[in-house]
Structure 1
């Protein structure tokens, strides 16, 4: 990676680490450690950290360096409410714009992926990266179908609050019922959109996002340390930013 490309890829990699819970709110961000972990030099990493500070994902203090920005539980609740409303709006807009067959087929394909991953009646730790990827693509597909760049931007802003992103999955072997409930919502949302029922899709999506927020907030209030331990993520590997070159 060189120049702007290196900085851009470093920004994307670090953003993913924050949004997926690999770096927790309040956690210091050490340049030397990240440089070695991601296989990038410190120059593009510094640029990435400055960018993410402007975006509100990191905070910087003189003589203390960078930390992942922390948000109160009350703030997380409010942002989940906004995200739920915006993604419900995306469902209505997608139908109003005339959701096409290609989008419906993509949603069906993604739901089938989720079915396969959960078919054993459990969510294996080895399947977490694929499940997270499928979940993000499902939501992104609907937001893109709304054909509203402002809506897309505002949903993206809600993801700049760590723990609110759709990349976050609370997971433990005993949590399968929660995962299955969430995936059942995917089925019902896709079916409503296939039937051009934007209001029903919107209602299910609003509940889908709101429920995820309530489950997260309940755990944060009861045991924040355990909650962070149970955040599901795909551990980064060296040269993460270079693998797609």
Structure 2
């Protein structure tokens, strides 16, 4: 087993454990311990301990009363609240960006991302979901930076690590759903309107657009949980939700 507890091992442990939680490999309520996880990852206990502490701060783990950590279970209301919180934070980012102004090169870069998303929509009606997912995440990362507020950007980074609060949490490829192109095209139109509002220094409009845009994830969650219960098995991390 590797003997180093350096930051690179902490980052690897953090990334690996987060992925296993969000993929449903570690179930809600499951207890995790340092030693077996360190053996699984082939690293020392120190970076595992640090990674688990970070995941507890993110809200994915809870400290057990005696020793170790427990994978957190979420109620449906918890997940909806996380999505709403992302909308509030992104709305604040958009309003501050519009009010404070954004450098032309920053607007050009985020506009380039939106133009690239256009290419994900094929003439035959198909959508390149893999590219859309990556570019959509890039759009939201660049949006988070537009306000110039490291405090808000840091809080957004925390929120999007919670299950289902990510902007790409319910893209159709992950739900194995077809005929959702219209929803993605609407989201893309909102991307463009949001950039335009920031560019035109329309703070209130930018904030409203960003908050409405974030609500797409809430609508998709409710769709899966209530209208298409059979799809739950196709989204592994739904195992974290207590119903």
Whether TM exceeds 0.5 here: the answer is yes
Do 2:97 and 2:147's aligned partners in 1 also have CA atoms closer than 8 Å? yes
Paired position in structure 2 for 1:165? 166
- Picking from 104, 129, 148, the partner of 2:107 is 104
Cα distance in 2, alignment partners of residues 175 and 228 from structure 1: 19
Do 1:28 and 1:65's aligned partners in 2 also have CA atoms closer than 8 Å? no
Structure 2 residues without counterparts, runs of 5 or longer: 238-243
Do 1:114 and 1:134's aligned partners in 2 also have CA atoms closer than 8 Å? yes
Do 1:135 and 1:166's aligned partners in 2 also have CA atoms closer than 8 Å? yes
Paired position in structure 1 for 2:207? 202
Q: Deviations over 1:164-192 (max 9, x none)?
A: 12241331233222222222211221222
Q: Deviations over 1:77-107 (max 9, x none)?
A: 2222222122111111012221111111111
Pair 1:221–1:173, CA change in 2 (3 A): closer
Paired position in structure 2 for 1:123? 127
Higher RCO (CA < 8 A, seq sep 6+): 1
- The TM-score with structure 1 as length reference comes to 0.75
Structure 1 residues without counterparts, runs of 5 or longer: 233-245
Paired position in structure 2 for 1:217? 222
Paired position in structure 1 for 2:191? 186
The root-mean-square deviation of aligned C-alpha atoms, in Å, is 3.2
- The TM-score with structure 2 as length reference comes to 0.76
Cα distance in 1, alignment partners of residues 74 and 180 from structure 2: 25
The higher radius of gyration belongs to 2
Do 2:98 and 2:200's aligned partners in 1 also have CA atoms closer than 8 Å? no
SS of match in other structure, 1:173? coil
Give yes or no for the alignment of 1:71 onto 2:66: no
Instruction: For 1:48-87, list aligned pairs within 5 A.
Output: 48-59=51-62, 61=64, 67-87=70-90
